[in-house]
Amino acid sequence: MNDNTTPLSANEYDAEINKTIPFYSTFYEQTIDVITQCNFPSIHWLDLGCGTGALEERALSYFPTASFVLVDPSEKMLDQAKNKLAAYDFKYICGKSTDISFDEEFEVVTAIQSHHYMSAEERECAVKKVFHALKKDGIFVCFENVVPSDETIKKSELLRWGRYQQRQGKTAEEALAHNARCGVSYFPLTVDEHIKLLKKTGFHAVHVFWVSYMQMGIYAIK
Ligand SMILES: C[S@@+](CC[C@H](N)C(=O)[O-])C[C@H]1O[C@@H](n2cnc3c(N)ncnc32)[C@H](O)[C@@H]1O
């Protein structure tokens, strides 16, 4: 069994993720750019499903005084993050986004490719917890796998994503096996369902700022 919900083990994650998800490193750059635009005087930042801490490593060059709380249900992923960020005194929580309980503490909450592992009920609970954790005018930035509502387009986009993976060196069988995880190992929403859920939870402004292949970047302001 793997040591986290992704098909990659924690120690191979950083090297392999770009071969699986197109533009992955751009997700971090775009997330940092969106947060830069907010102009917060100081940043207390909650990262849900932090994985190996790769986002923090990059974000610290832009926000050197930011203080992070890193959450992930995988001990192995958290170990990688602790190792990478050993020079900093950050807080680590081994748990799911549905386990957190914060009240208006953060300027920023991020969930980068980590919330599509939840069921519809868990996701709704997690988004409510994010809303509570944010201060007023705080921002939730999220990247996730999404699914087109049209079945024909969904099939076609999965094949297109598979071709990307093959160009990065996966075999046709490996690419097919990865794409068979859609709706089985992870549970993507459509873009419209995301917007609806965020607005229903109480966020007053919601904006989709990135879409590529079957991934989306969305932010919501409390
Ligand atoms: C694809 S990785 C992304 C890691 C990191 N955010 C990044 O961008 O590199 C997904 C992460 O989500 C975590 N995860 C899985 N289920 C979760 C849940 N219910 N709540 C929070 N994190 C979860 C996994 O352990 C894994 O570390």
| Pocket of ligand 1 contains residue 117 by CB under 6 Å | yes
Task: Categorize the per-residue pLDDT at 2 as very low, low, confident or very high, splitting at 50, 70 and 90.
Answer: low
C-alpha to C-alpha distance for 216 and 26, rounded to whole angstroms? 12
Q: Separation of 62 CA from ligand 1 center, angstroms?
A: 23
Give per-residue pLDDT as tens, 141-177: 999 999 999 999 999 999 999 999 999 999 999 999 9
Give per-residue pLDDT as tens, 90-126: 999 999 999 999 999 999 999 999 999 999 999 999 9
Give per-residue pLDDT as tens, 33-64: 999 999 999 999 999 999 999 999 999 999 99
C-alpha to C-alpha distance for 28 and 7, rounded to whole angstroms? 20
DSSP designation for 143 = E
What is this structure's pTM?
0.96
- Predicted local confidence at residue 169, as pLDDT: 94
| Pocket of ligand 1 contains residue 46 by CB under 6 Å | no
Pocket residue to mutate for ligand 1, from 2, 5, 68, most atoms within 8 A of Cβ: 5
What Cα–Cα distance (Å) separates residue 137 from each residue in 140, 156, 168? Answer: 10, 39, 40
- Predicted local confidence at residue 69, as pLDDT: 98
One CATH from 1.20.58.710, 3.40.50.150, 1.10.10.10, 3.30.450.70 for 13-150+187-221? 3.40.50.150
Ligand 1, atom 16, lies closest to the CA of 117
